[in-house]
Amino acid sequence: MNSPYLSLDRIDIRILDLLQSESKISNIKLAEMVNLSPTAVLARVQKLTKEGFILGYEARLNPIMLNNGFVVFVEILLDKTTPNVLEEFSEAVQHIPDIVECHMISGGFDFVVKIRCANMDEFRKISGDILWQLPGVKETRSYPVMEVIKETQQIKLKMPAKAKV
């Protein structure tokens, strides 16, 4: 089965790259930057959205200004990894706004979550009142972040080997 990525050409890649850097770019400016008409660019953006390459647009907020600058990564080990326990845990995590990321991992723990909150006091409350109440939690290991060096959602884009030119 071919990857949908292979259906992209250089202009599609350029459009995606520009949009992930500046999602509020006008269609006219985007068209100028990829040397197409505004109508053609709009059609491509709509197609890229319909095909699922573009998931949506959102504002990046400053967590420090919003009293959420404290970051903690937490490894979570479940008491069992049966499908129902994994599903219950995964469902419960969806409803906790302090958890901004959750990833199932392999290794010594089952999940790693990223938590954003105001400070260590707030994290201790989240840990006791929320994390330890999640279904199946047996053990946690916390890693408070001393300094964020790099944080991005941008994806490195390159031309697929068999892409259309």
Contact 113, 93 (CB under 8 A): yes
Sign of CA dihedral 121, 151, 20, 62: positive
Please give the Cα distance from 92 to 71 (Å, whole number).
20
Tens digits of residue pLDDT in 110-149: 999 999 999 999 999 999 999 999 999 999 999 999 999 9
- Where does the pLDDT of residue 1 fall: very low under 50, low under 70, confident under 90, or very high at 90 and above? low
- Look over the chain and give the mean of its residue pLDDT values, rounded to a whole number: 93
- Structural domains of the chain sorted by starting position, each given as residue range(s) with its CATH number in brackets: 4-51 (1.10.10.10), 63-144 (3.30.70.920)
DSSP 142: E
- The pTM (predicted TM-score) of the whole model is 0.85
Tens digits of residue pLDDT in 6-28: 789 999 999 999 999 999 999 99
* Secondary structure (3-state) at 116: strand
CA neighbor of 20 nearest in space, from 156, 160, 150, 161: 156
Encoding tokens for residue 148? 């964020």
Is residue 165 exposed (0-12), middle (13-18) or buried (19+ Cβ within 10 Å)? exposed
Please give the Cα distance from 153 to 39 (Å, whole number).
28
